[in-house]
Chain A
Amino acid sequence: MVRRQRERSGFRFQPNDARLILAHMVVAFLALFLGAIAGLLQGLVRGGVVDLLPVTYYQLLTAHGVLMALVFTTFFIIGFLYSGLARTCGGLLSDFARRLGWIGFWLMTAGTVVATALILANEATVLYSFYAPLKASPFFYLGLTLVVVGSWIGAWAMFTQYRRWKKEHSGKLSPLMAFMAVTIMGLWLIATLGVAVEVLFQLIPWSFGWVEKINIALSRTLFWYFGHPLVYFWLLPAYMVWYVNIPGIIGGKIFSDALARLAFVLFLLLSTPVGFHHQLMEPGISPEWKFFQVILTFAVVVPSLMTAFSILATFENAGRARGGTGLFGWIRKLPWGDVRFVAPFVGMVLFIPAGAGGIVNASHQLNQVVHNTLWVTGHFHLTVATTVLLTFFGVSYWLIPALTGRRLTPGINRLGLIQTAIWSAGMLVMSGSMHAAGLLGAPRRTAFTVYGGHETALGWLSYQQAMAIGGALLFVGVLLMLWIVLRLAFFAPRAEGGVDYPVGEVAEGAEPTPRILERWPVWITVAFALILIAYTGPIMHMIQHAPPGSPPFQPY
């Protein structure tokens, strides 16, 4: 009864929990700011507007990738998942979970500081994917190790919170948001095993000089074993928002709890054994194994289509419940003035071309046309930097007020809508021209060049200028977002009672959820079985038929 009253007047985090989550948000948005400066400069260099030394360009590229793709996402996601667990599993984190959370936070922060410092000192210009035999300072790898180990402790914190709730409510189905948080961190644990093995057993001993040589093919395979599930680690929290929180915002019901859980389980199973689709153009892996992993990659389309259906069904039901009629009349009844809905919605719409581009990238032969061109850069700026980021911005509009007990005022809401428009426009211009330039052959990860005035390269220039314009717009968008976050954290008027932390309820008519979806040992076993099937053969081959290894190179 007490709980229900609190829900009605909104939700208030325990001050201790709010501090932990806010700490994650502070590092996340700081990384976003630094990463955005690097991104702006890169755009201007590539557009021929600003002239920097190539070394500096690659340094900025490394900083942009690490700060955006690893630091911002990991801190934001872990902080956000804590909030979801606190909200749905008992209203607060257990003391034990919170203590683990802080240990994880400080480890991740220390690692981030070390890694960023070494990038700025030009001791780690090996890009975010640190391809051996490019060698960084060993302390760069150690810094990133701390980030990953810290995130593991964070995962453990979430698992204890979830387990405690399950024990206290024996026989009951766990809250959907908690189930999804556990799936996401489970996927993260399984995926990071690959990069952990690469860093601990290959890169660190080799960069310290304890061993002379490194097996390149193996290191790349271990990296991409992690590198693809990593993108699902970014995407699934966005899906969680769409499944669970958006229905709460638009006053709709979750279409089906069972389907939502099934989709997440399928992502857990299918995200890891597919890394070869990043290595389709490489020697040392037989075409049969490449094709096998392409099949598994394509299978991810199934849970994606399920998600698209469920979410649109939720929208339609919500629109009809508000009086929308006819085939499309319900669309007008959705809350188009509410930035908490609009920002993620734009992200969803842009995910349609983004996902189609992903199918192209993963295709056995089509990849040949776009591999390592700007098309790929355009692809992940449309997926991660648009769909995922707009959803995370959408989260910020209610999460930060809920943490600080302040209100999302109509004024800030309007600024948020402007931010969404700037961000979408910037991404459409930048990502659109990246896709086009990539199809014409322009390479990614390359400083400004016209290859001695070759006419093909000169033909890419106008697209690169458009990229610079889009990048500048995006920088304005980041500044506006940071201003909004600061307003929400410190200056917005205090909220009376709690703040709305939207969590949707499951529709009344939905089918009951099969219990097997929550039997973790089953799914983890299946996940590892698939990984063993997809990787054992090729990895054995890479070890048994390895060429003599490579010594380190530091050409920057």
Chain B
Amino acid sequence: MHLHRYERIWLWIGGGTLLLFLTVIGVQAFAMGGHPPGGMDTVDPEKVTREAPFDQPTLTQVGPKEYKAVMVARMFSFQPHRLEIPAGSTVHFEVTSPDVVHGMQIAGTNVNMMVIPGHVNRASHTFNRPGEYLLLCNEYCGAGHQAMGTRIVVK
């Protein structure tokens, strides 16, 4: 099919930009490990509160300046309720839900993921700046959704 010459140039520029964007995204994801949060593990949402590790949601140190946070997002709170870590720590979050779909976002960071009952979602973040971070639910989960938030204290 015939294309006008200017339109051909326009589409070459557009298509080239597109390829460039996709290459950047692809390299960042597959070569540098920058995938969005996810995970393929499953759990029984009705047994979350009874079986390890989610029966005792907790923050544990797994290395120098490295922590693992096993968390449960439920109507309408997060467990553990409050996390305290020294500045410069990397935290590996592991989260699931025993009831409805929630979101888990830490404002001002790139930690942002869906918490789907039956699935375990994972993300990691290094907290360099001290302060009180706001961790909140960003997926509507019922009448108390706006109350579902907590703090991460970085000292």
Residues of A near any B CB (own CB < 8 A): 54-55, 58, 61, 127, 131-134, 216-217, 220, 255-256, 258-259, 262, 279-287, 290-291, 294-295, 298-299, 301-302, 305-306, 309-310, 313, 359, 363-365, 367-369, 371-373, 440-449, 451-452, 454-457, 511, 514, 545-551, 553, 555-556
With A549-B118, A555-B99 given, can you name 9 additional A-B contacts, CB distance below 8 Å? A134-B141, A287-B29, A298-B18, A363-B25, A367-B36, A442-B107, A548-B45, A548-B46, A556-B142
Known: A258-B1, A301-B14. A373 touches B38 (CB 8 A): no
Separation in Å of the B78 CB from the closest CB of chain A? 12
CA distance A281 to B114 in the complex (A): 6
Known: A280-B36, A454-B134. A302 touches B121 (CB 8 A): no
Q: Is the CB of A446 within 8 A of B138?
A: yes
Instruction: List 22 A–B pairs whose Cβ atoms lie within 8 Å, in order of A's numbering.
Output: A58-B142, A131-B101, A216-B118, A217-B118, A282-B114, A283-B37, A284-B119, A285-B38, A290-B36, A299-B18, A306-B11, A313-B7, A367-B36, A371-B138, A443-B103, A443-B105, A449-B147, A456-B107, A456-B134, A457-B107, A546-B42, A553-B99
Task: Tell me whether B63 is interfacial, beta carbon within 8 Å.
Answer: no
Q: Which residues of B contact A454 (CB under 8 A)?
A: 132, 134, 149, 151
Q: Is the CB of B40 within 8 A of A302?
A: no
Known: A369-B112, A555-B141. A133 touches B1 (CB 8 A): no
In the complex, residue of chain A having the shortest beta-carbon distance to the beta carbon of B135: A451
Known: A55-B143, A259-B3. A284 touches B34 (CB 8 A): no
Q: Is the CB of B36 within 8 A of A305?
A: no
Q: Mark B97-136, 1 if CB is under 8 A from A, else 0.
A: 0011101010110101110111111100000000011101
CA distance A551 to B149 in the complex (A): 25
Known: A302-B15, A359-B21, A365-B36. A133 touches B101 (CB 8 A): yes
The one of B34, B108, B114 that contacts A441, using a Cβ cutoff of 8 Å: B108
Known: A365-B34, A368-B36, A547-B119. A298 touches B101 (CB 8 A): no
CA distance A441 to B112 in the complex (A): 10
The one of A133, A309, A313 that contacts B100, using a Cβ cutoff of 8 Å: A133
3 nearest interchain CB pairs? A555-B142, A547-B118, A441-B107
Task: Tell me whether B61 is interfacial, beta carbon within 8 Å.
Answer: no
Q: Which residues of B contact A367 (CB under 8 A)?
A: 36
In the complex, residue of chain B having the shortest beta-carbon distance to the beta carbon of A279: B114
Q: Is the CB of A545 within 8 A of B11?
A: no
Task: Give the interface size bracket for B toward A.
Answer: 35 or more
In the complex, residue of chain B having the shortest beta-carbon distance to the beta carbon of A554: B142
Q: Is the CB of B112 within 8 A of A448?
A: no
Q: Which residues of A contact B85 (CB under 8 A)?
A: none
CA distance A54 to B141 in the complex (A): 12
Q: Is the CB of A444 within 8 A of B138?
A: yes
CA distance A238 to B66 in the complex (A): 52
Separation in Å of the B40 CB from the closest CB of chain A? 7
Q: Is the CB of B18 within 8 A of A287?
A: no
Known: A55-B143, A282-B116, A547-B119. A365 touches B37 (CB 8 A): no
CA distance A309 to B142 in the complex (A): 45
Q: Which residues of B contact A363 (CB under 8 A)?
A: 21, 25
Q: Which residues of B contact A447 (CB under 8 A)?
A: 145-146
Task: Tell me whether B84 is interfacial, beta carbon within 8 Å.
Answer: no
Q: Which residues of A contact B133 (CB under 8 A)?
A: 456
Q: Which residues of B contact A61 (CB under 8 A)?
A: 140
Task: Tell me whether B2 is interfacial, beta carbon within 8 Å.
Answer: yes
Q: Which residues of A contact B64 (CB under 8 A)?
A: none
The one of A259, A310, A443, A555 that contacts B138, using a Cβ cutoff of 8 Å: A443
Q: Is the CB of A511 within 8 A of B1?
A: yes
Q: Which residues of A contact B35 (CB under 8 A)?
A: 287, 290, 364-365
